[in-house]
Structures are given as C-alpha cells and as structure tokens.
Amino acid sequence: MSGIDERHPEITPRRVRFDWSETPLHWIPDEPVATHFINVLHLLLPAGERWFVHVYKQALPLVADDPRLHGEVRGFMGQEAVHAYSHQGVLDRQMRERGLDPRALTLRIEWIFTRLLGDRRPLPIMTRRAWLNLRIGIIAGIEHYTAVLGAWILDARELDAAGADPTMLDLLRWHGAEEVEHRSVAFDVYQHVSGAYWRRFLAFFAGVIAMPLAVYFGAAFLCAKDPTLHGVRPRVRDYRRAVRRGLFPGNRFMVAAARRYLRRDYHPSRECSTRRALDYLAVSPAARAAKRR
C-alpha cells in the first residue's frame, strides 16, 4: 500500500523555472515534425489554462459548502496558473528567440478562450449558470486527457532514447505529473455543480472533435513558420511514424481513453497513479529547484 489517497492527494503549486538557452528549436533531434506535433501543447495550454483559472474563479463559490473540494480547487488553480506561465515561456523564449514567431496563431487561440468560451452566453435561452456548468463540463473532459497524456509522457522512454532535450522533457513531465496529481479535481467540481451525464457527454464531444483538428492545424502552422523547414507540411505519414517510434500517443490510446471517460461509473481516481507522479516530482530538476527556493 502506498498510503496515498488517490482521490484526494494534497495539491499545491510548485514555483518552477526553466532556462531555455540550451534547448534547440527541434528539441527531438532530427524530428522536426514530431517536435511540432508535441509543440501544439505550448500553443494551446497558456490560453487554455488561464481560461481554466478564469472559469474556476466563478466555480469557487459553488463549492464553498465542501471545504475539502474548495481547497483542492484553489490548489488546482495555483498549479494551472504556473503551467500556463511555464508554457508561455516556451513560446516567448525557446521558439521566438530561434526565429519561430507563434503569435499569429496564439492570438486566435486566445480569442477562442476569452471570447468564444468567455462569459457571454452563446445562446440567449441559456442561463448564465447553464453556460458555466457546460464550461465546467468541458474542463472535466480536457482534464481527463491532460491526466492520461501526463501519465503517457512520464513513461515515454522513447523520447529519452531519441535524445529529446532534457529541459523540455522536464517541463512536460513536471506538468504531466501535476496533471496526474490533480486529475480528480475538475471531475469532482463538475459532479458537485451539475453531475448531469448528458452534459458531460456533450461537452466531451466538443473537445474530442477539436483535438485532432488542433493538433493538425497547429503542427501545420508551426512547420510553416519554422525558418529551417522551408514549407514542409506535416502528413499523416509523419504522424504514423511518430506514433510508431513512440514519440506521440496513437489513435488507439486516445480512443480507449475516451471510452473510459464516457463510462457512467467513471472516476479519475481509477486512472493513472499518484505514486508514479510523485516519484517523478521527487527527481524532476525543476520541481527540486522550486522546493529548495
């Protein structure tokens, strides 16, 4: 027995810092397209995770009657804020200082999260509370994937074997480990404020359709803006090759994760392992340095 409460581990932000001065643009050597498939995360997460925090500020009063959940939500918001800031650092330094300016796309992504998914109701017949509940449902669905992808990257030894940059791997694994750590919070908030299965189902499908489109268009954008690639476009063949090499999770993995999420008796505490996440955080250079500070 590990002695860890998988449903309610302690959630506190770690104030990590990353130095991007030694990280090359293609941080998986000789794999520019696979690098950009994963780089799509850096495009989406800063705006996406700031949006989580924005929505959860409105959700906090709704969970005030459950002090433990309330505390977990505050820890979750702190962790997500540090995640957003850390991935923003990749955009502003690792990419831009090497000649890849992502702002043409990140401004649009910002618009999606602040306007399209902002506080204004998309339909007049929808109440403010129903719109908030739907957005909380979307966050629960996304958080299922951030946790299973976090667990995936903790164990993706193929990235180490391919010579991936250690600072980038540490960012992705520290973030992945914290996603595993706080994986139950968004689902528990959703169950607390709404719990309707149909809304969870609907919100999940909105995200599921958006995800492959985001990966493809995001990677195509990064390849087009990459000053060293001269118009290379990502092809399905590139994606399959990255999956075969173990550098990117495959369709089967993603579909299996969706099927688990859509079970009526789903709970995130039965996914992933907090012990595994804590074991990584104990050796993560960024998390250790944050602890010393």
CB of 272 to Fe ion, least distance (A): 12
> Whole-angstrom Cα distance, residue 72 to residue 209?
29
Nearer to Fe ion, 179 or 238 (CB): 179
The 10 Å Cβ neighbour count of residue 118 is 16
Tokens of 91: 């955009």
Print the binding letters for residues 22-61 with Fe ion: x by CB under 5 A, - otherwise. Answer: ----------------------------------------
Give the per-residue contact string, 143-162, with Fe ion (x = CB under 5 A; - = no).
---x----------------
The reply to whether 83 sits near Fe ion by the rule CB under 5 A is: yes
3-class DSSP string for 68-98: HHHHHHHHHHHHHHHHHHHHHHHHHHHHHHH
The answer to whether 238 contacts Fe ion (rule: CB under 5 A) is no
Q: Looking at 57-65, 77-85, 123-131, 190-198, which segment touches Fe ion (CB under 5 A)?
A: 77-85
**Residue from the set 31, 170, 179, 226 that interacts with Fe ion by CB under 5 A:** 179
- Cα–Cα distance between 189 and 79 in angstroms, integer? 16
Please state, in angstroms and rounded to a whole number, the distance separating the CA atoms of residues 116 and 102.
20
Q: Which is nearer to Fe ion, 25 or 203 (CB)?
A: 203
Q: Which of 145, 122, 134, 112 is nearest to 211 (CA)?
A: 145
Q: Which of 81, 220 has the CB closer to Fe ion? A: 81
Q: Give CA–CA dist 190/69, Å, rounded.
A: 11
Told to check if 183 binds Fe ion by CB under 5 A, we report: no
**Which residues in this chain contact Fe ion in the complex, by CB under 5 A?**
80, 83, 146, 179
